Structure 1
Amino acid sequence: MSFLENQIMQSRTIAITGHTRPDGDCVGACMGLYNYIVENYPEIRVDVFLEPIAGSYKLIKRTDEIRQPEGRPEAYDLFICLDNSQKDRMTKGMEAYFDAAAATINVDHHISNTRFAQTNHVVAEASSASEVLYDLLDPEKITLSAAEALYMGIICDSGVFKYASTSEHTMQIAGRLMHLGVDSGRLIDEVFYERTYVQAQLLGQALLNSVRLFEGRCIYTVITREMFRKFQAGPDDLEGIVEQLRLTKGVEAAILISETEEGTSKFSFRSKRYMDVNKVAALCGGGGHIRAAGCTVHGDWNESLKIFLEAIEGQLVADV
């Protein structure tokens, strides 16, 4: 029995959360654990807290039960944070719940994890937090609804099994989840590839506006507030853009910059073969993985872009 299973069994109330602006792995891990507890431990009261999720993730069972923090924070017996490397990147409003909990656990796969919980289980070489979580659960207790959530998390963070973090173990887990009844083709299409018309328009504009640098080895594009308004789009509609930039022939590093209404901008970084974009994101307080990272900057994004491009150029020159 894993430490996580043991801690769950000793608790009467459990809170689950992930990081701000939850992606597919964050939602997959959180909902995978939530469904696992609901269906195996009905005597435990468990709540899952996440910021609003993309529509494509709502095919996972019980996503309509996701809560947002409100009022005075409750003191849970156990607080489990998944796919989150820093306490201040937790779902907005959940830090107070975390501080009030009797026990806290952090399950993650980010190399930049700061080990902020009482118990931290971080496997940096894993494809996803969903993969790390699977290894902590009793495989005999994993139901179809939990399996679908975990599978979604794995395909989202492994790029449908094509990123370097995909291992033999990743594929073995995927096979076991499929054995439980997961419809792989449906999940991959609906979660990873299917786009709304708005998303397709935004992607097209982003590609048209993209800029290549350093002999075509770096590419970036900007989604401005005006573009969000023009296409009636939101942050959820950015899914897949930076990955499409990364796939441009000859490109090693790709950057997606998206403006927000709050006067901040989010940078998403991806690399193809050798560049460590985690080091690039860390220059402005961000982080993530070697091949995928991000950060949020305040003020004019142009000034931050100059800093990032200088760091990227340094890594490109080092590779020559």
Structure 2
Amino acid sequence: MNKIEKHLQGIKTVAIAGHVRPDGDCAGSCLGLYNYIKECFQDIEVDLYLEEISEVFSFLKNSHKIDSLYQKDQEYDLFISLDCGDKERLGSAVKYFERAKHTICIDHHISNVGYADINHIISDASSTCEIVYTLLEEDKISKEVAEALYTGIVHDTGVFQYSNTSERTMNIAGKLMGKGIDFSRIIEETFYQKTYVQNQILGRALLESILLLDGKVIISALRKSDMVFYGVTSKDLEGIVSQLRVTKGCECAIFLYETGNHEYKVSLRSSDLVDVSKIASYFGGGGHKKAAGCTMVGTIHDVVNNLSLHIEKQLKEN
């Protein structure tokens, strides 16, 4: 894929969107590209569609410009999908994708199905933000754009500790730091800092976790009633599965929370022996080898049994 400037030639309207329940990489890549186009191509009308992002990302420039209502009726010249493995995960923004004259998908998920006119999928990139950086003119990247891209890289690499972190990742992060961003504050306030209720629900999830398959798998689940009791939403559950994953002796962590009647959002994390992207894909989801997710139906017991069968098979093979 050429630099983004090449694809904006002759374009008057652009829509940008990411996946449902946007995380740091999704929010960062979308806001980073949105701000870049707004700053460098002022004659182009650009709209950003995302579900409501976490409050911790509200410091990013133009986060208040995000359209979470999807009420606009418009056919765009160009639709850019970011950090989204298939068009269904665009949620309500899919209507703009389907009506757009041209579409581009920029992503790093190995499970991406290549659904746009142009698909720029770099599966060994740490994050979509890392890829977006390579598509921009470095000297035109402002401090505000750098803040958004750095935030996304930080979140998808677990502050540079996950195996998806490469020399290229660190070089790009260093160049973004060179734009004058307050990188320490970004890490502290968006990744590590938790509210009191977030700490409570994390404690509940850890306290009620159980070990399976000779201690190689750890699992924890939350019902809707638990979330109502603590007054939390899905945005408050970030980081729970990652904390489960670092349990000594565990090769795979599973965290699920109830989203509907016998419906659960499942997050999977692994160390080395389990490819969770294969498991998630089997159940209609996707992601990376060591981080993936899906939605499953049934009782908690059903979900755990179905997942553990696939995990056990991989553990035996390895």
One-letter amino acid of the counterpart of residue 31, structure 1: L
Shift of 1:29: 0.3
In 2, distance between residues paired with 1:112 and 1:148?
27
Cα distance in 2 between the residues matched to 1:263 and 1:217: 26
CA distance in 2, matches of 1:267, 1:129: 22
TM-score (norm 2): 0.97
Shift of the alpha carbon at 1:15? 0.4
After TM superposition, the structure 1 = structure 2 runs for residues 77-226 of structure 1, keeping only pairs within 5 Å, are 77-90=77-90, 92-226=91-225
User: Cα gap change, 1:263/1:97 in structure 2, threshold over 3 Å: closer, same or farther?
Assistant: farther
Contact 1:286/1:294 (8 A) holds in 2:
yes
DSSP-derived class of the 1:230 partner: helix
Q: Which runs of 4+ in 1 moved over 3 A?
A: 69-73
Once the two structures are TM-superposed, the CA of residue 72 in structure 1 deviates from its matched residue by 5.8
1:250 Cα deviation after fit = 0.9
TM-score (normalizing by structure 1): 0.97
Contact 1:69–1:94 (CA<8 Å) still a contact in 2?
no
The reply on whether 1:313 has 2:312 as its aligned counterpart is yes
Aligned pair count reads 318
Unaligned runs of 5+ in 1: none
Structure 1: which amino acid aligns with 2:120?
H
How far the C-alpha of 1:301 sits from its partner, in A, is 3.8
3-state SS of 2:84 partner? coil
Partner of 1:68: 68
Give, in angstroms, the shift of residue 45 of structure 1.
0.7
CA distance in structure 1 between the partners assigned to 2:299 and 2:116 by the alignment: 33
2:229 and 2:183 map into 1 onto residues whose CA distance is: 35
Question: Counterpart of 1:121 in structure 2: which amino acid?
Answer: H
Map 1:219-234 → 2, pairs under 5 A: 219-234=218-233
Which residue in 1 is equivalent to 2:47? 47
| Aligned-residue offset at 1:248 | 0.7
Q: Does 1:35 align with 2:32?
A: no
The SS at the match of 1:312 is: helix
The alpha-carbon deviation at position 262 of structure 1 amounts to: 5.7
Maintained 8 Å contact 1:73/1:100: no
CA distances 1:78-130 after superposition (whole Å, capped 9, x unpaired): 1000000111111x211111111111000000000000000000000000000
Q: CA RMSD in A?
A: 1.3
Give the counterpart letter for 1:122 in structure 2: I
Where 2:188 maps in the other structure, the secondary structure is helix
- Aligned twin of 2:21: 21
Cα drift, residue 69 of structure 1? 4.3
Question: Any conservation in 2 of the 1:242–1:256 contact (CA below 8 Å)?
Answer: yes
Amino acid at match of 1:24: G
The separation in 2 between residues aligned to 1:12 and 1:263, in whole angstroms, is: 45
- Matched AA of 1:257: L
- Aligned-pair identity (%): 46
| 2:270 and 2:291 in contact (8 A); partners too | yes
CA distance in 1 between counterparts of 2:315 and 2:288 reads 18
Q: Does the Cα contact within 8 Å between 1:211 and 1:219 map onto a contact in 2? A: yes
Q: Which moved more, 1:213-222 or 1:168-177?
A: 213-222
